[in-house]
Structure 1
């Protein structure tokens, strides 16, 4: 078994195959993308950015790294790895579209190692700070700064796409998946972090019914719910959790102050793992 380099990168400017030459990726048209000393590559042209520094900030990435590396979401990582590795060919490629600081891919790599699986892994995130943190923690996967709206990946080259608490672009996911490839999508369930939300918001919005229909280009497979209790016992852990969620910005100053005053908090973790097979049109 081995974790392999991901070789099916595409030029973000013209879609042509990228080939590694020394410390850079180049396409036939002459576009050149340097590989940083930490091993990651920027494949997000300035014209594809919606802000100067898109995605999670340096501080949010640091909070997520501390929280996840402490093992608080380990049951989610284990369930995701099982979903990815189920029915996977002996030699396969996986893209994490919105990989953050790389925690879930590192856990996947460990599980693949245990199963004797040969896996080429690509972690992509729009945040340069997240990709830098990922590359510093594990150099085996390829890490790139990029956008789900224009994945720098060749058509039909990936066996699994992960989208964890992220921003799915189903047309792009369908494009890069091989026939019979699979999308694994993880989203918050109705009770996810409910106890924290009850503290920081005056009232909770009614939960919308879950949409279990398959997106265009996919057929639905049986999903899974991961649910467990999580106890945090310090202000720092609670602050890190809040900092890595959208609730940090959605909550009022009063709500954030209430969270900052907590020394311990027990919460429900409730996430849905949806699985979809790629359905490629023929003819």
Structure 2
């Protein structure tokens, strides 16, 4: 399967063509492929920091945690809730904010077992995440890039996945084919509540995201998924903490309290929402 096909130059949006170990556009912009096969399509002028996204250490922590399959029930929930009319052979899938590739890899393996093959593209703003992902599966197009300006042409994909990421709906709509699907997976009100109660003196009230809907999309299905899992070492607890926003938000006292734990049983509370792109004549101007 060819990878890194049908992409756009992040500087002038013209098509990129593969020339040996580089992608080049007609304006002369060139992007070299890394040794593991990914490409960095995040120009310096589009970076808000020198090293945006998750750090090398955060990626390593997430990879260690996810590879233990504590979150595999999320993969199963995605598969179980997937609108069956969109189980298409050869569908083109973008994982927008793919991290180190765990979810895209597990989902595609499960579908492959049902003889459903996908053309897969994983994009993340962290070069460390994409470097790790590119070692996981060579048949995926792995791209360092931003959801705010996806380096792909219009109507490039049939499905956009955004699991615990930062959705940019105008871009997702642009790159989706007519009636294409978008999946948002986010934390629910009780997610990691046991850990949060140790980290914080009080728990903020849960606020539903996108409660007024998403412009240009119709909500197809909404589903909550709750399960428990246990971590039996301080190292595993720290790996989980390092991949959450709480590592930055929690107080010193809260983090110190977590460091005293040797085990913990945690609740995972996940909200899945499937959306379908509205037909062009229905799109808001």
TM-score band by shorter chain is over 0.9
Paired position in structure 1 for 2:16: 18
Paired position in structure 1 for 2:154: 155
Equivalents in 1 of 2:206, 2:103: separation in Å?
27
**Deviation for aligned residue 1:176:** 0.1
Verify the 8 A CA contact 1:84 1:160 in the aligned structure 2.
no
Equivalents in 2 of 1:156, 1:56: separation in Å?
28
Equivalents in 2 of 1:212, 1:117: separation in Å?
33
**Deviation for aligned residue 1:84:** 5.0
Unaligned runs of 5+ in 1: none
User: What secondary structure is seen at the aligned counterpart in 1 of 2:113?
Assistant: helix
Paired position in structure 1 for 2:200: 201
User: What secondary structure is seen at the aligned counterpart in 2 of 1:5?
Assistant: coil
User: What secondary structure is seen at the aligned counterpart in 2 of 1:109?
Assistant: helix
- Over residues 147-181 of structure 1, what are the superposed CA-to-partner deviations in whole Å (9 max), with x where a residue is unaligned? 00000111001000011111110000000000010
- Over residues 55-85 of structure 1, what are the superposed CA-to-partner deviations in whole Å (9 max), with x where a residue is unaligned? 0000000000000000000000122244457
Paired position in structure 2 for 1:7: 5
User: What secondary structure is seen at the aligned counterpart in 2 of 1:14?
Assistant: coil
Verify the 8 A CA contact 2:190 2:268 in the aligned structure 1.
yes
Paired position in structure 1 for 2:272: 273
Verify the 8 A CA contact 1:4 1:120 in the aligned structure 2.
no
Structure 1 residues 38-187: aligned runs within 5 Å: 38-83=36-81, 86=84, 87-187=86-186
TM-score w.r.t. length of structure 1: 0.95
* Cα RMSD, aligned residues only: 1.5
TM-score w.r.t. length of structure 2: 0.95
**Deviation for aligned residue 1:209:** 4.0
Equivalents in 2 of 1:30, 1:259: separation in Å?
52
Residue of 33, 36, 40 corresponding to 2:34: 36
Equivalents in 1 of 2:249, 2:277: separation in Å?
34
Verify the 8 A CA contact 1:6 1:120 in the aligned structure 2.
no
Equivalents in 2 of 1:124, 1:142: separation in Å?
8
Paired position in structure 2 for 1:234: 233
User: What secondary structure is seen at the aligned counterpart in 1 of 2:103?
Assistant: helix
